[in-house]
Amino acid sequence: MILYKYRNWSDNYHKKILTKNEIFMASPGSFNDPFDCRIPENYHLLYTQEKIDQFMEYIESKHKDKLNKLTKSDIEKINTNFKKRFDNPEQVQLDHENHFFQQTDNCYGIFSLSKKWNSLLMWSHYGNNHKGFSVGFNEDRMRESKLFGAGFEVNYFKKFPLRNPLKRLTQLKLLFYNLDTNQLNGNMKRNLD
């Protein structure tokens, strides 16, 4: 299958895809859609003391080696401070999102492609208002090159998914979940069909 990248000929960096055989892997923070790669755990779902305690147990098990090196007094201080943080769930959520988004932006580069070369929406958004150019990439060759970590189709949903901190995902599953999920509004859906 051929997948397409829409570019702007008046942007010298975009020309490099043809003139220097270079591609740019964008940081998720640079995307025009603020929800792309932005599905953090929702700490508002830890709304009872029992759920907070379950989450603390998970954190303790994850960091058992580090905690074993501390004194009992130090561990109690950490637990007390951790519980106090949940007195302000908004701040817990904000701190987590800032950390999560910064890590995502600093660690991942995304090369977005389209199945369609003739999408009016893509030409207007990414092809310099229909004055740019499009380059086709052979999906099989890209996969065989092993230059890319992963590749998959984005799934669009009408409702923004909620990630429960008690249902932990492995790092790889988390990456895929954040990259292949996007919220969908009615106008975008009609343009993608």
pLDDT (0 to 100) of residue 15: 94
pLDDT, tens digit (0-9, with 9 covering 90-100), for 144-160:
988 887 778 877 777 87
pLDDT (0 to 100) of residue 190: 35
pLDDT (0 to 100) of residue 176: 54
Closest to 2 (Cα-Cα) out of 163, 157, 140, 192: 140
Measured distance CA(77)–CA(38) in Å, rounded: 32
pLDDT, tens digit (0-9, with 9 covering 90-100), for 80-120:
888 888 888 899 999 999 998 998 899 888 898 999 999 99
Are the C-beta atoms of 169 and 177 separated by less than 8 Å? yes
Question: Residue 118 burial by CB count (10 A; 0-12/13-18/19+): exposed, middle or buried?
Answer: exposed
pLDDT (0 to 100) of residue 184: 45
pLDDT (0 to 100) of residue 126: 92
Are the C-beta atoms of 12 and 146 separated by less than 8 Å? no
Q: Please, what is the average pLDDT of the chain?
A: 83
More confident residue, 20 or 154: 20
pLDDT (0 to 100) of residue 71: 87
**Residue 170: pLDDT band by 50, 70, 90 thresholds?**
low
Residue 188 has pLDDT above 50, yes or no: no
* Count of C-beta atoms within a 10 Å radius of residue 145: 9
pLDDT (0 to 100) of residue 55: 87
Residue 47 has pLDDT above 60, yes or no: yes
Closest to 134 (Cα-Cα) out of 44, 14, 53, 52: 14
Are the C-beta atoms of 165 and 43 separated by less than 8 Å? yes
pLDDT (0 to 100) of residue 189: 35
Are the C-beta atoms of 42 and 93 separated by less than 8 Å? yes
User: What integer is the mean pLDDT of 189-193?
Assistant: 36
**Residue 134: pLDDT band by 50, 70, 90 thresholds?**
very high
